[in-house]
Amino acid sequence: MAARAKRVRPATDDKILTGWNALMLNGLINAYRAFGDKSFLELALRNAQFIQTNLRNGSGLWRNYKAGRATIAGFLEDYALVIQAYMNLYEATFDSQWLREAAALTDYVQENFFDPAENLFFYTDANGEALIARKKELFDNVIPASNSLMAHNLHRLGLHLEKAPQSELAAIMLAQVQELMIKEPQHLTNWASLYAAFLRPTAEIAIVGPEAEEARKELSQHFLPNVVLAGSLTPTDELPLLQQRPALGGQTTLYVCFNRACQQPVHTVAEALAQL
């Protein structure tokens, strides 16, 4: 130890990457929804607030943070993972600010990353460093392909905000890689999971009433891969999925809908699961 203390220390990689933090944020939210441990949610909220405070670049995102300074314009991977995390954070808290942030970042991506010639997204920002060629990421690697992540986001956000063009763009993007997915499914599994989501209508669940949080917790303990979830303690028209969804008889009420057509309103999670 004494001899080693005289040597130059190896470099430590202490940079903070936006996309990787968003991956961790998604993991924390999944853990909270499954186990109900509030420490997971508290850490997720602190992490999300750090991203908002230190890694927002105007209406966009930075890629890297180190020594109190953010650098490098965000890549599509960063945006896709943060948008996914913010949507998940909304579904875990019913705090609409996170859904609004996800929508704003999605608008930025559509404006600055989209290639209308191929109906896919470039990996780099149009406002970023000028490159000889702008690539598009279609194949999964250690992280799912950023275009497939954005397609998932567009599908879910389109349902949350009732923006049909976004849901339609997700389907168009999927069609662009259909032949590749059939030839090399092992490299496009995240696209395949989106295809699975399109096989049946995604359920839109709204929970409204004084015990909405308790109902959300109970519902979230079940694996529901093809669901978008909205909720509020009081009736509100703030978000499309909550419009004209009263708490019947003052009781917490669950609405299970498909393609905006709702089943009979129910008052228990067990009844909602039966409708699903």
Measured in degrees and rounded to the nearest 5, phi and psi for residue 129 equal: -60, 135
Q: Could you tell me the pLDDT band of residue 123, with boundaries at 50, 70 and 90? A: very high
Query: Which residue type occupies 156?
Result: R
Buried b (16+ CB within 10 A) or exposed e, 15-33: ebbbbebbbebbebbebbb
pLDDT of the residue at 214: 96
* Residue pLDDT, tens place only, 227-263: 999 999 999 999 999 999 999 999 999 999 999 899 9
pLDDT of the residue at 167: 93
pLDDT of the residue at 128: 77
Q: Which tokens sit at 161?
A: 């905000």
Determine the Cα–Cα distance for residues 102 and 118; give it in Å rounded to an integer. Answer: 24
Share of the chain above pLDDT 90, in %: 94
pLDDT at 133 over 80: no
Domains of the chain: 14-199 (1.50.10.20), 203-275 (no CATH)
* Residue pLDDT, tens place only, 73-102: 999 999 999 999 999 999 999 999 999 999
Determine the Cα–Cα distance for residues 230 and 96; give it in Å rounded to an integer. Answer: 9
3-state SS class at 263: coil
Determine the Cα–Cα distance for residues 6 and 97; give it in Å rounded to an integer. Answer: 51
Q: Which tokens sit at 133?
A: 């060629």
* Residue pLDDT, tens place only, 141-177: 999 999 999 999 999 999 999 999 999 999 999 999 9
